[in-house]
Amino acid sequence: MAPRHLILAPRPRLLTRRTALLGAATLTAAACDSARPRAGFLGAMERVNARLQAALFDENQLAPELPPEEATPPGAFPQYFISDAVPLAPPGWTLRVGGMVARPARLTLEELQRLPSTQYRIRHHCVEGWSAVASWHGVRLRDLAEYVGADPAAPYVELRSFDSGYWSSWDRPSAFHPQTMLAYGMNGQPLPPEHGAPLRLYSAVKLGYKMVKYLTEVNFLPQPTSGYWEERGYEWYAGL
């Protein structure tokens, strides 16, 4: 008897174009949560991008110095603080410098002003998308690090303020960029309270929310920490 012919139906395919597409869409939707943008796939890609940005970082790449006529008109440079009113420095304010340093210090403004000073007029880039220009003067963070004997093995720098607990943390190369300073002056004047007096971080290489104002503490740390906006979902590296 002739073998019975089996009807050769194609084996059901496990992976069809349609299931692949639906699967990809479902995974994307599940792994990308706008309310928790530092988790899931979005968070994983943030870490990939942070590594790319760190690899691209060149400390000799400077932001161009701008001519005086580039200045943002008076009053148009936005003020920003998280407290309800302009935070004012407590009496007897000092900057505490600690962590992995040979000589932990509490520095008065006068002591900071005796360190080598620097100044520049560069463009400010806000996470919101606007830009503005002012000139800043102060002491390079790398010069402060040298003054206190910061351990070269400390790869992170944390900055804290008296603005209702506002804080952030940086990678060492960005913190030691020649255009990263602790600014005590703006547009040739002492830093006004609306812009972070008596001392704020200013830099060419990070977005505005990384530049902590109303500084109280600088810590050189072995581990990365977070920050006020970083805890709320904004990227940590935020380099320019």
Partner 1 sequence: MSAAPTRRPQPWPIRVAHWVNVPLLIIMAGSGLQILVAYPMLGPRGRPYGWYPFQGTPPPEWARLGDWLAGARQWHFAFGGFLALNGLLYLLYLAFSGEWRRRLFFPRRDTRNAVDTLAYYLRLRKQPPPQGLYNGLQRLAYTSALLLGILAVFSGLTLYKPVQLGALTTVLGGYDSARALHLLALALLALFTVGHVILVLLHPRSLVEMVTGGRKPDGP
Single out the residue of 136, 202, 228, 234 in contact with partner 1 (rule: CB under 8 A).
Answer: 234
Site for partner 1 in 120-139 (CB under 8 A): 123, 125-133
Measured between alpha carbons, how far is 161 from 229 in angstroms, rounded to an integer?
14
Rounded to the nearest whole angstrom, what is the least distance from the CB of residue 228 to partner 1 in the complex?
12
Rounded to the nearest whole angstrom, what is the least distance from the CB of residue 163 to partner 1 in the complex?
20
Q: Is 30 in the site for partner 1 (CB under 8 A)?
A: no
Which residues, in sequence order, are CB contacts of 37 under 8 Å at separation 6+? 43, 46, 233
List C-alpha distances in Å: 105 to 67, 99, 149, 155, 169. Answer: 37, 10, 10, 19, 19
Part in contact with partner 1 (CB under 8 A); list of ranges 41-49, 85-93, 102-110, 154-162: 41-49
- Sequential DSSP letters for 183-236: EEEETTEEPPGGGTTT-EEEESSB-GGGS--SEEEEEEESS----TTGGGT--S
User: Per the structure block, which two tokens stand in for 218?
Assistant: 């600088």
Q: Is 82 in the site for partner 1 (CB under 8 A)?
A: no
Site for partner 1 in 7-26 (CB under 8 A): 25
Residues of this chain that bind partner 1 (CB under 8 A): 25, 28, 32, 34-35, 37-38, 41-43, 45-46, 49, 53, 56-58, 61-64, 72-73, 75-78, 123, 125-133, 204-205, 229, 232-235, 239-240
